[in-house]
Structure 1
C-alpha cells in the first residue's frame, strides 16, 4: 500500500544558492557576502537601549519595514510590518529570517534559497532598526556554525521523482493512479512548484478536450507547428505522443478540481488550433502578470499529488544517481541534517532547466550568457550534471525569453508589465524591426539581436496605463517627453529615422493599409497625443531549451542510442527534444511539463507492473 506521509513545511536556511527572478549570480554572491560576512567572536558584552525600533531596507520589489524589540542585552522580537514583494516567496523568508535572528541573537543568518532578495531585505531592515539602539552591530555579525551532515539510513521506494515542479508533480499524479506504488518526490528548494509557481500559469490543450469547442490540433499539425516555430526538426514520435494525450490529460485535471478557467480559452498562436487557459486567479490579474497566477496551479498539483499518495520532501537535494552497470538503481540525497541513499525501481528526473547556472549557459547557449535570468532559483542544471557520466546527448538550442524592464522587475507589476503595452517598438537606429502585435517571445528574441541588446516601446498619453507610466518616470525607469523629437534625444536614438518611422507607422493606421511587418491593424497604437513615453526593453531568460535526449516515452537515451534502464526525464530538462530557437507561444512550458510528466509516470508504472 502507499506510504502517505504528511508534508511538513520546514524552511531550512540555505546559504549561497543561486537566486532566480531577475537577480544575477554575481549580485547574489555580493549581497550574501555583505549580509553574512563572518566576524571573529568576541567576549565583549552586547548592550542595547531597551525599546522597540522600526527599520527599513530594500527588498525584491520595494521597501521592507520591520519592527525590532530589544531588552538591554538581547533581541526579543522581530516583526515585519510592511512589504511589497511577491507574497508567496516573501512568506518563506518571513517565516525563517526573523525567528533565526532572535534564536541566534545574530544578524549573520542564512538567506532562504529562492527568496534571497526578500531575505536580505529583512536582514538589512533589522540592521537599520538595531543601529538606532546604540549597539555595536559587529558584535551581532557572528555566524553560527552548522553541524556536519550525518549519514542516514538507506530507503527504498518504487519510484523516485527528482523535482517538485509541474513535471515532477504531474508524474507523481500519474503514478498515483496505481495505489500499490510507493512514490517519493524530492525537492531541493524550501518550497514546491518550481517555475510554474512563478509563471503566469497559462496552459494549452486541444485534440479532443471537451473544453475546446473549436477545431484543434492533431498529432500531425502539432508537429508541423513546433517545427515551423523552431525552424528545425523535432522529436516527431514524442510530439505526437504529447498530442495524443493532451486533451485527455487536461480534462482529467479539470475534472479533479484544477484551477484553470475553462471560460478563458483563447488561441495561443494564430491558426494553430492550440488553445490556452488562464488560471482562475490569472484571469483577473493579467494586467500586471501577477506571479500568484501560476502559484494557484502549483498548489493544486502539489495537493493532488499528495492526495494520490505521493510523499513529498522539501529541502532534499538529489546530488547524484546510483548507477550499476549502466542501470539506474536510485539516487543520493542531502537535506539540512543528513545524506542518504534512496533505492528505487524507477527514477524520474524533473529538475528543470539551467538558466541560473552561468557555466552551463556559456557551454550550451553562449549567446544567452549575458541575458537577465528571471526564473526559478532552482534552475541550475542538476539533471544535466547528474547524467554526464552516462554520456547522455544534450539536444536543442536557445533559451525561452520574454521582454523585461529591469533584472528585478522583469515583466511583472504595475511598472514592469509596461513592456507589454506599447505596440510601436524601435531600436537605437530609430527603426522598427518586428511585428509588435505578434508573440512576446519573438519580440524578446529580436530585441536581443539589436544594437546594445535593447529596444524602446513608444506610447503616448492615451489608454488606461498613464498612471503606471508616470510611476515608472518617477522611478527613473521610463522616459517622458512633450515631443517626439525630445523623446528621441532622451533615449539616445537616431532622431531622423525615428520621426520617419513614427510618421510611416501612423499613416499605416490612418490609411488602413497593410503593415510592412504584418502587425494586426486593429492592435496598432499610433503615438499622437503628448506627453510621450519610451519603455526600455531587454530580453530576460524565463527558461532554457537544451536538455537530455529522450524517446517518445521520455526515457533518457544513453551513449549507445538505447534507453538507459530505469531513467526518465520530464519538463524543461528535455524541452530541446520538442522546440528550439524561440519559445513557441505562451502556455507551452506549463503544458509540456505536465504532459511529459504524465508520459514519464505512465511509462514507469507500466514497466513496473509488467
Structure 2
C-alpha cells in the first residue's frame, strides 16, 4: 500500500513538473471561483440604490486625500459627508495645517525616532513606521502636484530623541491656523468633480458585508431619513475621524467623565462602530492628543482656542503665566501652569504620560491678571463681557470665591498663601513653575473660570496595516475595507506634532490607491442594470436676491464660504449684511460686527483684523471687496 502511494506521489510530482499544473493552484482557482460565484449571489440579494468603484466616508483631510488618490488611479468615487455643506472638514479644517515631511535619504533616522516615540508599546510595527515615512517623504511633491505653489518647510522635532532632527513640518503659503491645507484639498476634490461625486448630509451608517466571504461590498448611507445601499466595486475607505464629540465613548475609552474637542463638531465615532460591526480589531482607543485644560465655549461645545497653558506662542494665549493658578476639586494645585503639555503629555520621571487631572478644575486669578490680557483673543477687553456671561466668576475674597465654585475655602486660601510664598522666593518646589511666571495672586477682586479637559483628537479606531487595510479580531484582512486619518491612527502613545495631518495625507494616499485597485473577486457587471440610481439631496445656501444699489461678494473663511450683500448709495457703503457663513460661534463670529462697523465707518476694506479671528476678518474684508468690484 505504501509503495502504491509513493508511486502515485511520484507520478503527481512528475506531472506537475512536465505540465506546470499544480493541485494547489487548481484548488486555489476553485476557491476563487467559488468566491466569485458567492459574491454574485450576495450582490443579487441586496436592493442597491447606486454603484461606484470606491466609496470614501468622511470629508476631512484623510477623506479628501483618499478620494483624490482613488480618482487619479482611474476610479469613480463617491465621497459621503455627515455634516451640512459648509461645515465639512472634521479636525483638518481647524488644525494648525502643518504636515509632516521627511527627506527620503533620512528615512532610516526617522524610523529610529519613531521607534523611540513608540517606546514600550508593541505598535506600530517597524513595517508600519517605514511605510508611513516612505510615503511621508513624498508629501512635499504630492502637495506640489495638487497645485500648492508656496510650501514652507521647517525643522520640527517635538521630542528630544535620536533621529528627530530629520523631521520637518510643511505649511502651504507659510500659514498656520488658516485652513490652507484643507482649502487646497477641497479645491483638488472640486477639480475632479467628473470622477468624484460628493454628498453632504449623508452619513455612512453601516457597511454591507457578505457574512460568508467577509468582503465589504458597499456602504449604507443615510440621506433625508432614507437608508441607501451603495455598492463599492473595489473598496471602501473609512475616514470618519475619531470620537471627540461622543461623551459616552470618552467615558468608556478614555476614563474621563467628560472632555471636549478643540475643533471637531461631527466626530462621534461612527466609523469605529461600523468597523466593529464587520469584525474589526480596535487599537489605541485610550490614546488622545491631550488632555490640557481650557474654557468650554457653550455655543459650540468646543474650546475657545488651542490653549491657555504655557508661554504665549503660536499655540497658547499664555494667560496661565499671569497671576493665575490651576486648582482641582480640593482647591489645591496639580500641575505646572507655565508649561503646555506636548499634545497632553507631560514628562513624568523620564517617561511621557498623559497629564493627570483633578476634576472639576478651575483657573484662579486676581484683578491684575484680568487686566493683563484677554483670556482668549476673541474675548472682550478686560474680559468684562465674559464676567457678565458667567464664564468668569467674580468674588471680593478668596473665601467667597471658593464658596461660589464649590471648593473647600480653607484649602483654597492655604493654597493661595503657599503659592504667593513661592512667588516671593521665586521658586516653586511643588511643580517647578518657571520663576519669571511666578506672579502673586493678591489684588482683589478675585476670579475663577471652570476648566475642562480638552484635546486635539482621539487616536483610536480599527487597526490597519501598512497597506491601509482594516484588520479583524483574528489578525486577518477584512477584504475591500480600508481606513485613513485619525480613525485608527498608528500612534499608540506620544506622537510627533504634524503627524496626524501627515497621516491624513499618507494613509489617505495609501488607502485610496489600494482601494481603487481591481480585485480578483470583483464582479465587474453593474448591479444597477434596470435600476435607477437614487439622487440624494441636502440644503444649499439660498440664492442672494439683490435690489437696486446692492452687490454680492464672496470669499472663504475658516468655516467655508462667507457671502455678503453690500448696499451702496452715492458711492458710499451704507450697509453690509453677511447672508451666509459657517464661522465658529463665540469666536470668529465676534469679529463680524466689528469688521462691518469698521468698514462702514472708514469706507474702506483695509481695516484692522480682529485678534483671534484673523482668517474670518480677512475673508469678510475680501468678500466686501469682491462686492465693491462689481460696482465699477
> What TM-score range do you get, normalising by the shorter chain?
0.5 to 0.7
Contact 1:154 1:340 survives alignment (8 Å): yes
1:248 equivalenced with 2:138 (yes/no): yes
> Structure 1 residues 413, 206: CA separation in 2 closer, same or farther (over 3 Å shift)?
same
1:40-189 aligned within 5 A? 154-178=49-73, 180-189=74-83
* Correspondence for 1:406 among 292, 296, 312: 296
Deviation of 1:348 (Å): 1.0
Contact 2:52 2:233 survives alignment (8 Å): yes
Give the structure-1-normalised TM-score. Answer: 0.60
Contact 1:159 1:184 survives alignment (8 Å): yes
Alpha-carbon distance in structure 2 between the residues aligned to 1:307 and 1:205? 25
* Correspondence for 1:224 among 111, 116, 129: 116
Aligned to 1:69: none
Alpha-carbon distance in structure 2 between the residues aligned to 1:468 and 1:440? 29
> Structure 1 residues 390, 412: CA separation in 2 closer, same or farther (over 3 Å shift)?
closer
1:601 equivalenced with 2:517 (yes/no): no
1:387 equivalenced with 2:275 (yes/no): yes
* Correspondence for 1:546 among 460, 465, 469: 460
> Structure 1 residues 457, 584: CA separation in 2 closer, same or farther (over 3 Å shift)?
farther
- SS of 1:223's equivalent? helix
> Structure 1 residues 202, 496: CA separation in 2 closer, same or farther (over 3 Å shift)?
farther
Give the structure-2-normalised TM-score. Answer: 0.58
1:12-51 aligned within 5 A? none
Contact 1:164 1:350 survives alignment (8 Å): yes
Aligned length: 439
- SS of 2:65's equivalent? helix
Alpha-carbon distance in structure 1 between the residues aligned to 2:70 and 2:274? 23
Contact 1:320 1:386 survives alignment (8 Å): yes
Alpha-carbon distance in structure 1 between the residues aligned to 2:209 and 2:451? 46
Deviation of 1:405 (Å): 1.6
> Structure 1 residues 299, 508: CA separation in 2 closer, same or farther (over 3 Å shift)?
same
> Structure 1 residues 154, 216: CA separation in 2 closer, same or farther (over 3 Å shift)?
same
Aligned to 1:235: 124
1:317 equivalenced with 2:203 (yes/no): yes
Deviation of 1:475 (Å): 1.9
Aligned to 2:191: 307
1:440-486 Cα distance to aligned partner (Å, 9 max, x none): 74389977731x43232546256332725333222221134566676
* Correspondence for 1:453 among 360, 364, 376: 360
Contact 1:373 1:407 survives alignment (8 Å): no
1:509-568 Cα distance to aligned partner (Å, 9 max, x none): 676658653545556655566655433211146533331111122211124312122111
> Structure 1 residues 153, 494: CA separation in 2 closer, same or farther (over 3 Å shift)?
closer
Deviates more, 1:418-427 or 1:299-308: 418-427
Bigger radius of gyration: 2
Alpha-carbon distance in structure 2 between the residues aligned to 1:414 and 1:567? 35
Aligned to 1:108: none
> Structure 1 residues 323, 485: CA separation in 2 closer, same or farther (over 3 Å shift)?
closer
Aligned to 1:140: none
Alpha-carbon distance in structure 1 between the residues aligned to 2:145 and 2:434? 36
1:209-252 Cα distance to aligned partner (Å, 9 max, x none): 89x9xx99712212322x35xx7332123233223322421453
Aligned to 1:349: 238
Contact 1:189 1:378 survives alignment (8 Å): yes
- SS of 2:296's equivalent? coil
CA RMSD in angstroms comes to 4.3
Alpha-carbon distance in structure 2 between the residues aligned to 1:438 and 1:415? 10
1:358-416 Cα distance to aligned partner (Å, 9 max, x none): 55455x41623533466544323222332334321112232444533235255654899
Deviation of 1:186 (Å): 1.8
Alpha-carbon distance in structure 1 between the residues aligned to 2:479 and 2:196? 23
Contact 2:262 2:303 survives alignment (8 Å): no
* Correspondence for 1:329 among 217, 235, 259: 217
> Structure 1 residues 318, 253: CA separation in 2 closer, same or farther (over 3 Å shift)?
same
Aligned to 2:531: none
Aligned to 1:194: 89
Deviation of 1:314 (Å): 1.9
> Structure 1 residues 513, 380: CA separation in 2 closer, same or farther (over 3 Å shift)?
closer
Deviation of 1:168 (Å): 0.9
Alpha-carbon distance in structure 1 between the residues aligned to 2:437 and 2:170? 21
